[in-house]
């Protein structure tokens, strides 16, 4: 005969719920600053090296990310993402103004410019294998009913969990900048082919049809592809 420890079960449930709530609150505090770059032809390797030299240090929170960008437009080839808690932002050992000016000067010599930079807040995050899945399809959009959309999104992501497997998905609000959208969402994959095949499988599901019907009015602004080059956290 097994003895059921109800106090133990309740405590485990409490810990699980508390961990989930802490995780949600943590991600809700995460700010994402996106700096779009138009890197000169042949200068991508040097820019990646300069970024790594400056950013491969411990941060107080979050991460520094360099990505390549495709299909966003002729004036954006790469972007830098600075991610973290605004109340605990930056490097553990702050850079001096001289170090920042030197880094900025070296980077700028390799740029034609860049447009469409933005500030976002993470709203939803489904974790996965970021080392394996370095490619991301992004959808910038105008969401007319954010609360309705978020509710439908949560239901949708839960329903397609088996298809997503170890891929990451996220939902973000656009607080400043961008291309005119209010929100951004993305799906990761090991490469573009993996993302296309995953998206096709998702589009065939009843869950996808329900999501389209339940999310409210949404206008697509732009879809584009990014690939992680460096991630330092």
- How many CB atoms within 10 Å of residue 166? 13
Q: Where are the domains of the chain?
A: 27-232
pTM: 0.86
For 167, the 3-state DSSP assignment is coil
Can you tell me the distance from the alpha carbon of 112 to that of 93, in angstroms, rounded to the nearest whole number?
Answer: 31
Is the CB of residue 175 less than 8 Å from the CB of residue 121? yes
Question: What's 154's DSSP letter?
Answer: H
pLDDT of 28: 54
Tell me, which fold does domain 27-232 have in CATH? Alpha-Beta Plaits (3.30.70)
Can you tell me the distance from the alpha carbon of 17 to that of 75, in angstroms, rounded to the nearest whole number?
Answer: 45
Query: pLDDT 10s digit of each residue in the chain, 233 long?
Result: 344 444 444 444 444 334 433 333 345 579 999 999 999 999 999 999 999 999 999 999 999 999 999 999 889 999 999 999 999 999 999 999 999 999 999 999 999 988 889 999 999 999 999 999 999 999 999 999 999 999 999 999 999 999 999 999 999 999 999 999 999 999 999 999 999 999 999 999 999 999 999 999 999 999 999 999 999 98
Can you tell me the distance from the alpha carbon of 27 to that of 32, in angstroms, rounded to the nearest whole number?
Answer: 11
The token duo for 170 is 């996220």
């Amino acid at each position: 005969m097994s003895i059921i420890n109800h106090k133990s079960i309740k405590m485990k449930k409490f810990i699980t719920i508390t961990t989930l709530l802490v995780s949600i609150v943590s991600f809700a505090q995460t700010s994402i600053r996106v700096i779009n770059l138009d890197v000169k032809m042949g200068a991508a390797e040097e820019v990646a090296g300069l970024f790594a030299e400056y950013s491969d240090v411990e941060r107080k929170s979050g991460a520094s990310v360099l990505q390549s960008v495709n299909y966003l437009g002729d004036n954006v080839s790469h972007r830098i993402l600075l991610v973290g808690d605004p109340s605990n932002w930056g490097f553990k050992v702050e850079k001096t103004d001289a170090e920042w000016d030197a880094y900025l000067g070296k980077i700028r010599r390799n740029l034609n410019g860049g447009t469409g930079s933005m500030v976002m807040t993470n709203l939803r995050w489904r974790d996965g294998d970021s080392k394996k899945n370095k490619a991301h399809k992004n959808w910038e959009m105008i969401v007319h009913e954010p609360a309705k959309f978020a509710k439908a999104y949560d239901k949708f992501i839960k329903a397609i969990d088996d298809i997503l497997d170890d891929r990451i998905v996220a939902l973000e609000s656009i607080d400043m900048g961008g291309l005119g959208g209010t929100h951004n969402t993305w799906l990761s994959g090991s490469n573009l082919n993996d993302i296309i095949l995953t998206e096709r499988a998702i589009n065939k599901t009843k869950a996808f049809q329900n999501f389209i019907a339940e999310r409210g009015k949404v206008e697509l602004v732009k879809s584009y592809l990014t690939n992680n080059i460096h991630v330092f956290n």
